[in-house]
């Protein structure tokens, strides 16, 4: 009797959520597809996935519904990792959760782990089965075990959900290739080049050097199929309601395995229309909005993280509106590239402008901030602004790529180019954070002074990242200062892709040095841990605090001010290898949070690659708290 009563109460919760969203969901669905039968099927399956959702996950859903801003606080710190590189298998990752806890990390992004064809996977982004884990990494049972173990330790789990395309080895693709019309309609198939040629006139190429064009000819069946990324990744046709429904079922199946955050890969590409760029079209937002509602009906504890690799004005619409939200979080991609531009130029002007744009957006918007990710760095900077300062796009990209290869500008960086185009001169850059900061060069040359300088730059950049509005994410190995891994060159499956230079295996032997402050690993780990402790202890780091960039009188020194509930924190960051003076036109008394040293604004002397976290001391008065430091 009790079990039936619990089920009835549970269904009541579900039906209240469905009622809240039903009319809008139906309106959007019918506007897109005009298919009542398919909508009814969708609703039936939403209930089925809700009933299949585990009790612990439903309890978490209720907790997060009651505190919808839970992810906007100052206690989330992310880490992205490849399962095989980090610990071999999912069971291996589960055995390393204590280490992740030592890193103060409570949100892990597991890089693509669903089934993909060997050698034609694009790093895991060519999925052949959305309900199967790559056998070398484990199984779905292992995934559920890992997510449950993470939840016991207060760690949230993120995964990639690749919506835009499937592998050519997916069962839909295989059946389409056999000429089955039902499955061909789930992709974009054409028996002549007439329509593909019209698309090519308006659709940009993603990889013009390594995978030119947007279509692949299949000689065995005499058809062209749309392949925006690589020939083995076939674009899905979201004009077909069967595609939308089935992909939502895959989404919910994975959510029910214990995933907390779904990173929607390549969001802007998922809707295609002839005579357009097939980027950022209005129907994309319709699909993401429906996806958000479906999550809020079945699994409201799950967050949507959008991968939108574009400038802020094109990124921001993917948050939706307050009344009709879409993604919960988005990547702060442009700021990442602008940060490294600032390292190479020692000029914070463009970065300050970038931060002004981000900080002017509504406080409900949550960005993920990172110094490096699994991918290359593309120099998609604000060249309209740079041109006013005398920079030309082609020559500046050349300078940046030369700088980070260690060939210009007094650079200590090491790395390699990716997708270099000799015609346009364009190229992207690959390298770990540590190698880009000079740790690799200093270690190779046994340069003690150079190593101290490189470690200082590395820590300063992390301190700056923690001051940005949003959630900081580390790339696994950065907490140890892992350098580039050149062994990818001897692996035939990786040699052609220089991005593997920063995807090397975790060095657990070096990880054993984290408690030794005389090692590079110990210096970095200990100082980053202190930064993480400060961020978690100080409420001024919440993502919805007021945040602004402040002029310092020196282009090499960036100042970020955060304010929240009467508290003020000033962060100063010197992007130069020389000492600088920052002028801060403020009054009051401050405490530097890392050293405990009392400081006053005005003329602040900044050491090479130095930084300060200056917190204003509580003022005496009616609403003031006691003076003191953390």
Distance CA 392, CA 174 (A): 47
What tens digit of pLDDT does each residue of 340-371 get?
A: 999 999 999 999 999 999 999 888 899 999 99
Residue 222 falls inside a structural domain? yes
Residue 212 falls inside a structural domain? yes
For the chain, give the mean pLDDT: 94
Q: Report whether 261 contacts 158 (CB < 8 A).
A: yes
Q: Report whether 334 contacts 311 (CB < 8 A).
A: yes
Coil, strand, or helix at residue 114? strand
Residue 280 falls inside a structural domain? no
Number of domains comprising the chain: 2
Show which of 212, 235, 258 is a domain's final residue. 235
Distance CA 305, CA 263 (A): 4
Q: How many CA atoms lie within 13 A of 401 on its CB side?
A: 22
What tens digit of pLDDT does each residue of 101-153 get?
A: 999 999 999 999 999 998 888 889 999 999 999 999 999 999 999 999 999 99
Cβ–Cβ contacts within 10 Å for residue 92, how many? 17
Pairwise pLDDT comparison (219 vs 618), residue with the higher score = 219
Q: Average pLDDT in the 439-457 region?
A: 97
Sheet holding 590-592, edge to edge: 546-550, 557-564, 567-574, 611-616, 590-592, 598-599
What pLDDT is stored for residue 93 in this prediction? Answer: 98
Q: State the SS3 of 384-446.
A: HHHHHCCCCHHHHHHHHHHHHCCCCCCCCCCCEEECCCCCCCCCEEECCHHHHHCHHHHHHCC
Show which of 235, 254, 274 is a domain's final residue. 235
What pLDDT is stored for residue 425 in this prediction? Answer: 79
Give, to the nearest 10 degrees, the angle between helix 349-359 and helix 333-345. 160
467: tokens are 């001051």
pTM of the model: 0.94
Say if residue 570's pLDDT is above 50. yes
Residue 577 falls inside a structural domain? yes
- With the CA atoms of 66, 465, 372 and 94 taken in that order, what torsion angle do they form, in degrees rounded to the nearest 10? -40
User: Rounded to the nearest 5°, which phi and psi values hold at 152?
Assistant: -60, -30
Residue 241: partners with Cβ closer than 8 Å, 6 or more residues away: 29, 32, 33, 35, 38
Q: Please report, for the domain that includes residue 213, its CATH number.
A: 3.90.400.10
Distance CA 551, CA 542 (A): 23
What tens digit of pLDDT does each residue of 243-278 get?
A: 999 999 999 999 999 999 999 999 999 999 999 999
Say if residue 8's pLDDT is above 90. no
Q: Is the dihedral of CA 385, 386, 387, 393 positive or negative?
A: negative
Cβ–Cβ contacts within 10 Å for residue 382, how many? 17
Q: Average pLDDT in the 591-617 region?
A: 95
User: Rounded to the nearest 5°, which phi and psi values hold at 507?
Assistant: -95, 90
Residue 352 falls inside a structural domain? no
What tens digit of pLDDT does each residue of 141-181 get?
A: 999 999 999 999 999 999 999 999 999 999 999 999 999 99
**DSSP symbols for 199-234:** HHHHSPPSBTTTB-SSEEEETTTTEEEE-SS-TTEE
Distance CA 321, CA 167 (A): 33
Least confident of 3-12, 287-296, 404-413, 456-465: 3-12
Closest CA to 612 of 581, 629, 591, 587: 591
Residue 610 falls inside a structural domain? yes
Coil, strand, or helix at residue 529? helix
Residue 180 falls inside a structural domain? yes
Q: Report whether 39 contacts 26 (CB < 8 A).
A: yes
What pLDDT is stored for residue 620 in this prediction? Answer: 47
Closest CA to 50 of 75, 16, 91: 16
Q: Report whether 359 contacts 561 (CB < 8 A).
A: no
Q: Cα 109 to chain center, whole Å?
A: 9
Instruction: Provide the pairing of β-strand 156-162 with 107-110.
Output: parallel
Position 198 confidence tier, pLDDT thresholds 50, 70, 90: very high
DSSP 1: -
Show which of 215, 235, 255 is a domain's final residue. 235
Residue 591 falls inside a structural domain? yes
Q: Average pLDDT in the 6-26 region?
A: 89
Q: Report whether 318 contacts 330 (CB < 8 A).
A: yes
Partnered with residue 226 across adjacent β-strands are 215
27-31: long-range pairs with CB below 8 Å, 24+: 28/286, 28/289, 28/290, 29/241, 29/290, 31/286
Q: Please report, for the domain that includes residue 563, its CATH number.
A: 2.60.40.1180
Q: What is the largest CA-CA distance in the chain?
A: 81
Instruction: Provide the pairing of β-strand 329-331 with 366-369.
Output: parallel
CA triple 230-231-235, angle to 5 deg: 80
Say if residue 628's pLDDT is above 60. no
pLDDT over 90 percentage in the chain? 88
The boundaries of the domain holding residue 588 are: 546-616
């Amino acid at each position: 009797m009790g079990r039936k009563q619990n089920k009835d109460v549970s269904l009541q919760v579900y039906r209240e959520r469905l009622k809240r969203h039903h009319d809008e969901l139906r309106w959007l669905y019918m506007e897109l597809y005009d298919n009542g039968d398919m909508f009814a099927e969708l609703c039936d399956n939403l209930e089925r996935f809700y009933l299949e959702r585990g009790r612990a996950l439903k309890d978490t859903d209720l907790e997060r519904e009651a505190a919808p801003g839970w992810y906007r606080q100052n206690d989330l710190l992310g880490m992205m990792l490849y399962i095989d590189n980090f610990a071999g298998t999912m069971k291996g990752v589960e055995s390393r959760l204590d280490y992740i806890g030592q890193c103060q990390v409570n949100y892990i992004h597991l890089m693509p782990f669903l089934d993909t064809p060997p050698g034609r996977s694009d790093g895991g982004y060519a999925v052949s089965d959305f309900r199967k884990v790559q056998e070398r990494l484990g199984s779905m049972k292992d995934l559920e075990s890992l997510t449950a173990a993470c939840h016991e330790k207060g760690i949230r789990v993120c995964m990639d959900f690749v919506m835009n395309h499937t592998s050519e080895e997916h069962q839909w693709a295989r059946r389409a290739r056999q000429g089955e019309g039902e499955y061909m309609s789930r992709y974009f198939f054409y028996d002549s080049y007439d329509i593909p040629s019209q698309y090519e006139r308006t659709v940009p190429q993603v990889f013009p050097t390594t995978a030119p064009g947007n279509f692949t000819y299949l000689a065995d069946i005499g058809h062209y199929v749309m392949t925006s990324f690589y020939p083995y990744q076939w674009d899905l046709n979201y004009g077909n309601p069967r595609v939308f429904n089935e992909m939502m079922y895959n989404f919910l199946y994975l959510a029910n395995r214990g995933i907390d955050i779904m990173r929607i890969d390549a969001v802007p590409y998922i809707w295609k229309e002839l005579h357009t760029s097939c980027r950022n079209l209005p129907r994309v937002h319709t699909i993401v909005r429906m996806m958000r509602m479906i999550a809020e009906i079945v699994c409201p504890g799950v967050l949507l993280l959008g991968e939108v690799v574009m400038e802020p004005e094109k990124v921001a619409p993917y948050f939706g509106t307050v009344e009709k939200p879409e993604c919960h979080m988005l990547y702060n991609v442009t700021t990442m590239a602008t940060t490294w531009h600032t390292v190479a130029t020692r000029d914070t002007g463009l970065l300050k402008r970038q931060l002004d744009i981000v900080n002017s957006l509504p406080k409900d918007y949550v960005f993920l901030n990172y110094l490096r990710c699994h991918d290359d760095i593309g120099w998609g900077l604000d060249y309209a602004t740079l041109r006013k300062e005398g920079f030309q796009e082609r020559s500046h990209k050349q300078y940046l790529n030369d700088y980070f290869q260690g060939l210009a500008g007094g650079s200590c960086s090491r790395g390699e180019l990716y997708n270099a185009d000799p015609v346009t001169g364009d190229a992207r850059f690959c390298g770990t954070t540590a190698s880009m900061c000079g740790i690799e060069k200093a270690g190779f040359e046994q340069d003690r002074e150079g190593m101290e300088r490189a470690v200082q730059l590395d820590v300063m950049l992390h301190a700056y990242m923690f001051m940005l509005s949003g959630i900081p994410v580390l790339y696994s190995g950065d907490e140890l200062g892992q350098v580039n891994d050149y062994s990818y060159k001897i692996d035939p499956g990786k040699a052609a892709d220089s991005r593997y230079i920063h995807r090397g295996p975790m060095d657990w032997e070096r990880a054993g040095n984290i408690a030794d402050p005389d090692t590079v690993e110990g210096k970095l780990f200990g100082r980053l841990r202190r930064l993480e402790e400060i961020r978690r202890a100080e409420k001024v780091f919440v993502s919805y605090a007021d945040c602004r960039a402040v002029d310092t009188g020196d282009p090499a020194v960036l100042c970020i001010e955060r304010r929240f509930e009467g508290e003020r924190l000033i962060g100063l960051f010197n992007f130069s290898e020389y000492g600088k003076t920052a002028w801060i036109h403020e009054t009051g008394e401050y405490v530097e949070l890392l050293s405990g040293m009392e400081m006053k604004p005005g003329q602040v002397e900044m050491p090479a690659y130095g930084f300060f976290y200056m917190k204003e001391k509580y003022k005496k008065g009616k609403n003031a708290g006691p003076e003191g430091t953390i």
